[in-house]
Structure 1
């Protein structure tokens, strides 16, 4: 019986000390893929602006707007956060 109380207290303590984790579970998850990156620049504008730079900034701005306008109500993840290229050879 003492073991059950210890386990119960441990579970309760864990839930109380980590309320953020319980909040994240209920958030809708959105994954954005700011394509290209690294050596793959994508399209290049007439002014020399690279598509890979624009799409990465749009992804980061989406995270910022979610935080500021929507109270961080979505769990937004990007497939890349800096100028790198992922290659998946299947």
Structure 2
């Protein structure tokens, strides 16, 4: 895993094998100040653009807002394409 940080203010973790963003965090006292965006831009440059947001259905609401705000490519989901509401059964 590759990690970019701003002291104890913000952190971005990326899976080396896939380039998928696994974690974005900003301390609550420093949110909406551009720290996570700056880390994304640095990671994007360091990884020659090979950095990807998690698939839409795998993100938290905050993660979705982050992906929308900074832009960039998103991985496609291959793990849950066959799931639908009809396939779920309760015991």
TM-score normalised according to structure 1 size: 0.31
Q: Which has the higher contact order (CA 8 A, sep 6+)?
A: 1
**Max Rg structure:** 1
Q: Give the structure with the larger helix fraction.
A: 1
Q: Give the structure with the larger strand fraction.
A: 2
